[in-house]
Amino acid sequence: MRRRRTTTTSTRLAATGLALTLATGLGACGLGTAGGFVPSGELAGPLADIEGIDGLEGAELTVGSKNFSENILLGKMAIILLKSAGAEVTDLTNIPGSSSSRAAHLDGAIDAMWEYTGTGWINYLGNDEPVEGEQAQYEAVREADLEQNDLVWLPPAPMNNTYSFAVTPPVQEEYGLSSLADITKVPVEERTFCVESEFRNRADGLPGMLEAYDAPLGAPKGVPQDNIQSYQTGAIYAATDNGNCTFGEVFTTDGRIVALDLTVLEDTKEFFPNYNVSFVVREETLEEHEEIADLVAPVTEQLTNEVLLELNAEIDVEGREPADVALEWLESEGFVTTG
């Protein structure tokens, strides 16, 4: 039997302090504890008849998220589902940065949040190499994080928000591009890349990817160093669309891909880690409210890349509120009703 970690008084006090710090910090930005009112409804469809779901009535839970659109959207979905099941939910979505949100999760300031398998395995658990295969990567991070940190990774969604590179329709047509292996079809002088500064220097970023696809950075027949341009994440999409570079670094579920009609090149060698999203719950929380797993499972199964591309676009391109987008989608899929 696995030995449980003991929660001390000092840890509980630290967790409480962190929760108050997060709430105060976010409140100072005019966002309340997280970013505004989150609606709820009544559970419907496959969620209406979950055995023991009434056990969530009155349960006090805290849901967090990082401060980018997709993670906030998913956090709002979880809050809507839990509130619709009768829980009293504290909204701590929109926490600045992975480090802060992870600390809040570990310290018990939040009970649950959506996390990415690649982030968990590499960034949080400190492994240098990803595990090949989506299921294998999930199982590895699930087992390690449970053993080390008492966090339970529920079964992951089909969506995989990993890295890749995208091109415009004219570029794709001119060179016949469909995968990263086609980089070498482009003349050396035209092999220009728009990337984040960190991604430019990481071994598991641009240098490693180019090496894997036979176009090493700095090599005469690879990619010249001068062909690399550094941008902030959001600016890469516009720069690629404007023709500042041939290849733009993207996250594969970013809504701007759809809005700008960019084509994501397939990572045929599976160089980049898998980043499937999973609802991660503190073990003690799940032991007390095991129905949480049944509540989120049917929703998780419907979270594909295509779905997230569309929903993210509604937020990042159309300017809609994540909570509104989340509720509308949950209603359209028959998970909740507000009528």
H/E stretch holding 16: helix 9-28
44 and 66 share a domain? yes
27 and 138 share a domain? yes
Residue linked to tokens 């989150």: 38
- 188 found inside a domain: yes
16 and 65 share a domain? yes
Per the structure, the count of domains in the chain is 2
254 and 289 share a domain? no
Bridge partners, residue 263, by sequence: 167
196 and 292 share a domain? no
185 and 241 share a domain? yes
For 151, phi then psi, to 5°, come to -110, 135
- 299 found inside a domain: yes
- 324 found inside a domain: yes
Do the bridges between strand 336-337 and strand 228-230 make them parallel or antiparallel, or are there none, so unpaired? unpaired
- 5 found inside a domain: no
Residues of the chain with pLDDT under 50: 1-20, 22-33
pLDDT in tens, 162-188: 999 999 999 999 999 999 999 999 999
At residue 34, the pLDDT reads 53
pTM of the model: 0.84
30 and 137 share a domain? yes
- Asked if 282 contacts 152 with a C-beta cutoff of 8 angstroms, the reply is yes
At residue 7, the pLDDT reads 36
* Helices and strands (DSSP H and E) totals, the chain: 14, 12
123 and 152 share a domain? yes
Domain endpoint, select from 264, 296, 324: 264
87 and 47 share a domain? yes
57 and 73 share a domain? yes
Domain that holds residue 145: 10-160+275-337
34 and 104 share a domain? yes
* Residue 281 exposed, middle or buried by CB count within 10 Å (0-12, 13-18, 19+): buried
Any residues with CB less than 8 A from the CB of 155 and at least 6 apart, and which?
138, 278, 297, 300
Domain endpoint, select from 264, 297, 317: 264
Domain endpoint, select from 264, 294, 328: 264
148 and 38 share a domain? yes
> Tell me, what CATH number does 188's domain have?
3.40.190.120
- 269 found inside a domain: no
